[in-house]
Structure 1
Amino acid sequence: MSDAASRWQDRPPWPFVPARVEQTPTMANAPLVVVPLAHKAAYLARYAEPDKGWEDRAESRWPAPYWHIDTGMAALLMLLTAVDEGLGACFFGIMPDELVPFREEFGIPEEYAPIGGITVGHRADDVPVQSPRIAERRRTAEEVVHHGHWGGGAAAR
């Protein structure tokens, strides 16, 4: 699945940790759990190379933390690929108090930041259907899409 992700100049900077169910009993019956890891140092080092034009590794040059953004996009591609293959997949967060035990259990170096986890498997037959209250809480496209100008409604189109 990660092959579908952007290659970032043929050197993807985000590693993944696939885990077996035996290692993650709290993930119920998912046969696969993948943890995408952001690697800030890889970005800072790459853009300090001569062909990029920056001579330092200053984090202040970045308008956004692309090491997290690109890792998130790679995770999204995994989720979409799983669905395209007829599987179920779910992204979940790793809470701050779980980071140290996670790092210890899987030997994750400090310079890699887990952005969350992805379970992949087959949907259980007895999983309840999504609550209608979720649909009630969703905002409409008109509430979230700003045409031509922030807050622009029909007049801004």
Structure 2
Amino acid sequence: MEFGEVVRRRRMVRNYDPDRPVPPAVVDRLLDHALRAPSAGFSQGWGFLVLSTQPDRERFWAATTPPSAEENRWLTGMRRAPLIVVPLANKSAYLDRYAEPDKGWADRDEGRWPVPYWQIDTGFATLLILLTVVDEGLGACFFGIPPDRVDGFRAAFDVPDRYAPIGAITIGYRAPDHRSPSLRRGRRPATEVVHHGRWRRPVEEPTGQDDRTVE
């Protein structure tokens, strides 16, 4: 599939065919592509928990879903996914890397970082998984783990403290599902979000006096 077509087809899929497992070779390609994501200082401070067996997937949903949560269309469809991949960010890998002689931030001060690159880089890797999923003819959905369920998730899968999940990805062959109501908002036009040369505010409604773009 052409790369442009992969990008255009990518969307979040929330219902899967439970009788079609993801082939192991495809799982390997998803992870191989994820490992090719860029990372600051080539720190590669990420980890991926792969859950492909039914007991593991059930343990994931039990650990991450509040007991009071009611079964709904979203949860029912997501539970049908035959594969879950949890991307995790390792902040200490970045602090350690940038304390090395060629970087020199020996104090390991997090304040030196303008943004948490450990999360950004793990997000890059996650997007490569999502794009590879489309190229392989599958569907996927990235979603968050509730903060109050993270400790339970760690305990259920023996995740070291230095690794923090940035979310989770359900993966499988698509089944009919409903479009997200959020899509009714429409895609924001490039004229609102792309700025060339300098930042410009959107064109305001004409006032009859001066309808030029305000800078």
Fold conserved (TM > 0.5)? yes
TM-score scaled by length of structure 1:
0.85
Cα distance between partner residues in 2 of 1:7 and 1:143: 28
Contact 1:32–1:119, Cα closer than 8 Å, also in 2: yes
TM-score scaled by length of structure 2:
0.64
Q: Which residue of the partner structure matches residue 208 of structure 2? A: none
Q: Which residue among 88, 92, 95 is the counterpart of 1:41?
A: 92
Cα distance between partner residues in 2 of 1:98 and 1:28: 17
Q: Which residue of the partner structure matches residue 16 of structure 1? A: 48
3-state secondary structure, aligned to 2:102: helix
Task: Name which of structure 1's ranges 133-142 and 49-58 shifts more when overlaid on structure 2.
Answer: 133-142
Contact 1:147–1:153, Cα closer than 8 Å, also in 2: no
Q: Which residue of the partner structure matches residue 135 of structure 2? A: 84
Aligned structure 1 segments of 4 or more residues deviating by more than 3 angstroms: 7-11, 135-138, 152-156
Q: Which residue of the partner structure matches residue 75 of structure 2? A: none
Cα distance between partner residues in 1 of 2:195 and 2:129: 29
Contact 1:40–1:67, Cα closer than 8 Å, also in 2: yes
- Residue identity matched to 2:192: E
Q: CA 1:153 to 1:114, structure 2 compared with 1: closer, same or farther past 3 Å? A: same
Matches within 5 A, 1:94-105: 94-105=145-156
3-state secondary structure, aligned to 1:18: strand
Relative CO higher for 1 or 2, CA cutoff 8 Å, sep ≥ 6?
2
Task: Name which of structure 1's ranges 64-73 and 96-105 shifts more when overlaid on structure 2.
Answer: 96-105
Contact 1:146–1:152, Cα closer than 8 Å, also in 2: no
Q: CA 1:96 to 1:150, structure 2 compared with 1: closer, same or farther past 3 Å? A: same
Q: Which residue among 171, 178, 188 is the counterpart of 1:139?
A: 188
Q: Which residue of the partner structure matches residue 197 of structure 2? A: 148
Q: Which runs of 5+ in 2 are unaligned?
A: 1-29, 62-77, 204-212
Q: Which residue of the partner structure matches residue 6 of structure 1? A: 37
Q: CA 1:133 to 1:33, structure 2 compared with 1: closer, same or farther past 3 Å? A: closer
Cα distance between partner residues in 2 of 1:35 and 1:133: 24
Report how many residues are paired. 154
* Superposition deviation, residue 133 in structure 1: 6.4
3-state secondary structure, aligned to 1:54: coil
Instruction: Give the aligned CA root-mean-square deviation in angstroms.
Output: 2.3
- Residue identity matched to 1:14: W
* Superposition deviation, residue 101 in structure 1: 1.3
* Superposition deviation, residue 16 in structure 1: 0.5
Q: Which runs of 5+ in 1 are unaligned?
A: none
